[in-house]
Structure 1
Amino acid sequence: MSTAPALRVLTVSHSRARLAGHLARLGVERGGVLMVHASLRAVGAVDGGARAVAGALRDALGPQGTLVVPSFTPENSDTSPHYRSRVRGLGDRDREAVRAAMPAFDPATTAAPSMGRLSETVRLSPGSLRSVHPQTSFAAVGPLAGRVVADHLPDCHLGEDSPLARLHELRAQVLLLGCGFDSCSAFHLAEYRVPSPPRRTYRCVVRNGGERRWWEYEDVALDDSDFAALGADFERSARSPAVSDGVVGSAESRLFRFPEAVRFATRWLPAHRRLPAESFLRP
């Protein structure tokens, strides 16, 4: 009885230089400002891992370019979907124990595990700077990093007093590296720019005068549940291709200009969000 030979599965491993070449062909601008959302799993095996991916991004940008990533921290809030998922099914005592164990946000040391390996790699890079919002901080490295992360007010997640507005001013590019438009934080700036956006209350743990305390504040009700549909319409928009697409490593990726995305979203949201304001205030 004969047996068929076993099939060999070849795994392609990408180099930093190869990734930088892919990024350049996609259209990453040398000397520009680039905000990245990434799935390194989609990129595939890379010699040097997340550090090599971050290095390739900086190589494509060149020495005068600035790399920006979200370093959000929903882990220290009891009004976040992350918290609701964590305590689902728990009793009052166990839920309170989770709240009591939440560490206060420290921009110098607090990790952002839910943002992925690339974001953490950039946050920990030499010379990296981070904005100080206790929930929606951004990390940046490069000549314009200070301008991007400066003056992020603690009661403004992603609006005019956040790095998103600075990225808009700088006409930054946005790279979705192996992920979809549902991850596109640029669209959140448009939520602040529509007429009378709904608002809600947020809570998180901060450190004040060396003491840990809960802080409650009001801000625009953020809702990314329709960003995939918004992004699909943006990609199909009638203007000359607003979105470049291509493969970086093994990852299907998209590149576009920040102001164009926000402009489109600011028109799209009022036309497509027909829900009453209270639907945005889900606990």
Structure 2
Amino acid sequence: MPTPPPTGPLVTRETLTAQLRALGVEPGEILLVHSSMRALGWVCGGAVAVVRGLLDAIGPDGTLVVPTQTGDLSDPAEWRRPPVPEEWWETIRVTMPAYDPLVTPSRGTGVIPETLRTWPGALRSAHPQTSFAALGPRAAEIVDGHAPDCRLGERSPLARLERLGARVLLLGAGYGTCTSFHLAEYRIPAPLVEIGRPGAAGWEVVTEVSIDSDRFDELGYDFERDRTVVRGKVGAADVRLFPVADAVAYAERWLAVHRPREE
């Protein structure tokens, strides 16, 4: 059967910028973007056009930040989608390449973050599993010093984004992707877990705060019911815009009530 034509809408760099500006994205601001390329519609120029449109919206004084996580740099014993045979585990641990911020591709965050990661001038944080990439005049201030034992807590780019007054843009992505909620997990009693991963000197195990995006969609529903969240459309995508600090503060209270944990 012939492939059906795209249904659109047609999205261009210029229309994306105009719609973001109409939503209230401001020149000079710091924007943490979680995105879905598929949700936008038919984009002329693909992810490159999206990144250019985002950069146009915030202007030369703005800074664009995206998650560039690498969850595959982890213990194969924990892999579920798909699992690998147990007899492979030790070989995988011994041979898995260590994280290199310049060459290790992101995984599971989409084509837009991966495009920004490789953009000329982009900087990337050092955490081997939960890095962020940033482009703009505040990029180094945001990504430098990401502690290797702090995935998404006080010594991660998230805490810096909070202090710098950054906003979150959910561009076709749901609240389940909202990394800002994870910062709240570091501020409530939470269990610690041991995490295996490749390191510069071979396989290593570090102790970290347990993080879990379970119920983040429910948390997001309550958040935008109770707090000011700008909502609109860019192309076909549902878009939400709100301060990182508001999301963290609300999540800290919500998680303490709805998902209590023991230390």
Give the structure-1-normalised TM-score: 0.87
Partner of 1:33: 30
**Residue ranges of structure 2 left out of the alignment (5+ in a row):** none
Local SS of the residue matching 2:69: coil
> Which AA in structure 2 matches 1:153?
A
Show the counterpart of 1:217: 206
Look up the equivalent residue of 1:207 and give its one-letter code: A
Deviation for aligned residue 1:84: 3.0
CA distance in 2, matches of 1:156, 1:65: 26
Q: Distance in 2 between matches of 1:275 and 1:262?
A: 17
1:50 aligns with 2:44: no
Q: 2:195 maps to what in 1? A: 202
Q: Which has the larger radius of gyration?
A: 1
Shift of 1:201: 0.9
Which residue, 229, 250, 254 being the options, matches 1:264?
A: 250
Q: Is the 8 A contact 1:66 1:143 kept in 2?
A: yes
**What RMSD, in angstroms, separates the aligned Cα atoms of the two structures?**
1.8
Deviation at residue 10 of structure 1 after TM alignment: 4.7
Would the aligned equivalents of 1:106 and 1:207 in 2 still touch at CA under 8 Å? Answer: no
Q: CA deviation at 1:86?
A: 2.8
1:255 aligned partner, one-letter code: L
The question of 1:121 aligning with 2:115 is answered yes
* 1:85 correspondence with 2:71: no
Partner of 1:232: 221
Q: Secondary structure at the match of 2:200?
A: strand
Cα deviations by residue, 1:241-278 (Å, 9 ceiling, x for unpaired): x111111111011111110111101111110014556x
The verdict on how the C-alpha distance between 1:80 and 1:267 changes in structure 2, with shifts beyond 3 A counting, is farther
Aligned to 1:4: none
SS in 2 for 1:86: coil
State the alpha-carbon separation in 2 of the partners of residues 96 and 105 from structure 1. Answer: 18
Q: Secondary structure at the match of 1:174?
A: strand
Contact 2:134-2:142 at 8 Å conserved across structures:
yes
Q: Is the 8 A contact 1:105 1:134 kept in 2?
A: yes
Matched to 1:272, the amino acid is H
Matched, 1:184 2:173: no
Contact 2:76 2:92 in 1 (8 A): no
1:253 is aligned, of 228, 239, 245, to 239
Over 3 Å counting, the alpha-carbon distance change for 1:125 and 1:9 in structure 2 is: closer
Q: 2:137 aligned with 1:151, yes or no?
A: no
Contact 2:168 2:241 in 1 (8 A): yes
How far did residue 44 of structure 1 move?
1.4
Asked whether the equivalents of residues 76 and 89 of structure 2 are also in contact (C-alpha less than 8 Å), the reply is no
The ranges of structure 1 where at least 4 consecutive aligned residues each deviate by more than 4 angstroms after the TM superposition are 7-10
Rounded to whole Å, the distance in 2 between the matches of 1:143 and 1:170 is 13
The CA deviation at 1:80 is: 8.5
Q: Percent identity?
A: 47
C-alpha distance 223-113 of structure 1, shift in aligned 2 (>3 A): closer
Q: Is the 8 A contact 1:28 1:173 kept in 2?
A: no
The Cα shift of 1:75 comes to 0.9
- Match of 2:206, SS? strand
Equivalent position amino acid for 1:253 in 2: V
Deviation at 1:100, TM superposition (A): 4.1
Q: Which runs of 5+ in 1 are unaligned?
A: 1-6, 278-283
